[in-house]
Amino acid sequence: MKMKLLLFVCGILSGAAAVFHEDLAIGGCSDSDGEFMYTLDGEEVWYADFKKQTGVEPQPPFVDHASYPGGYEFAVAD
């Protein structure tokens, strides 16, 4: 009986799950301000800080950070 239960539980736990992520890039500007940022699943992962003239990764230090080489320069050019 225990073996049948173990096989049943293993069959349930080995199922496949599809995981979908939603990413978004926002860019915009006006006469006085600008915005350029990337989000993943509703969390901001990178944005251009035009006042400090640099790109910012606002995640906590324990998160594996994504890098966007040339991202700030692209945001300024856009």
Where residue 31 sits, what CATH number does that domain have? 3.10.320.10
64 in a structural domain: yes
Calculate the CA 7 to chain-centre distance: 37
pLDDT digits (tens, 9 = 90+) for 33-62: 788 898 888 888 999 988 899 999 998 888
pLDDT attached to residue 7: 62
**How far does the chain reach from its first CA to its final CA, in angstroms?**
66
2 in a structural domain: no
Q: State yes or no: pLDDT of 17 exceeds 70.
A: no
69 in a structural domain: yes
Predicted structure pTM score: 0.66
> Which residue's structure tokens are 């301000």?
33
Domain count for the chain = 1
* Domain limits for position 61: 21-77
**% of the chain with per-residue pLDDT over 90:** 8
Nearest Cα residue to 50 out of 71, 65, 69:
71
Degrees to nearest 5, angle at CA 30 with 29 and 34 = 40
8 in a structural domain: no
Read off the tokens for 27.
């860019």
pLDDT attached to residue 66: 78
